[in-house]
Amino acid sequence: MVYQADEFILDLFRKPWAVDHGYRDFVGSPLRHPQREDRIILITDPFTPEVSYMEFGLEDVDCVEALPGIVNDDGELIMMARVWVRKGSVGIKSELFMV
């Protein structure tokens, strides 16, 4: 399953660049949360059928850096980004697994 990121998401989540040692970076395809405007979703590997994602509160995100997009065999482009999140904040990580 392929997830298309909103082309304007980086503008909405950009804050002044002040990353220091109090932040950690995560890489993935950013999406708006479907129900909560104060959350960001980061799809870690958008081209795999086993969806895994991370979710962070916008108050914990300091900066979102645009990275080069990735393209699959069908020519679909996915925007990628590096998200800097404050250390010590609470995030949600979701991944599928076989029982």
Of 5-9, 47-51, 86-90, which one has max mean pLDDT? Answer: 86-90
Q: Give the count of domains, the chain.
A: 1
The model's pTM:
0.75
- When the pLDDT of each residue in the chain is averaged and rounded to a whole number, the result is 80
- What's the whole-number mean pLDDT along residues 63-70? 87
Nearest to residue 26, comparing CAs of 93, 97, 95? Answer: 93
- Identify the CA nearest to 9 among candidates 91, 93, 79: 79
Domain encompassing residue 44: 9-90
Distance (Å, whole) CA 29 – CA 59: 19
Please report whether residue 69 resides in a domain.
yes
Residue 4 lies in a domain: no
Would you state the structure tokens that stand for residue 87, as one six-digit string? Answer: 């250390």
Residue 96, in any domain of the structure: no
For 5-48, the pLDDT digits (tens) are 554 455 545 555 444 578 888 999 998 888 988 999 999 888 88
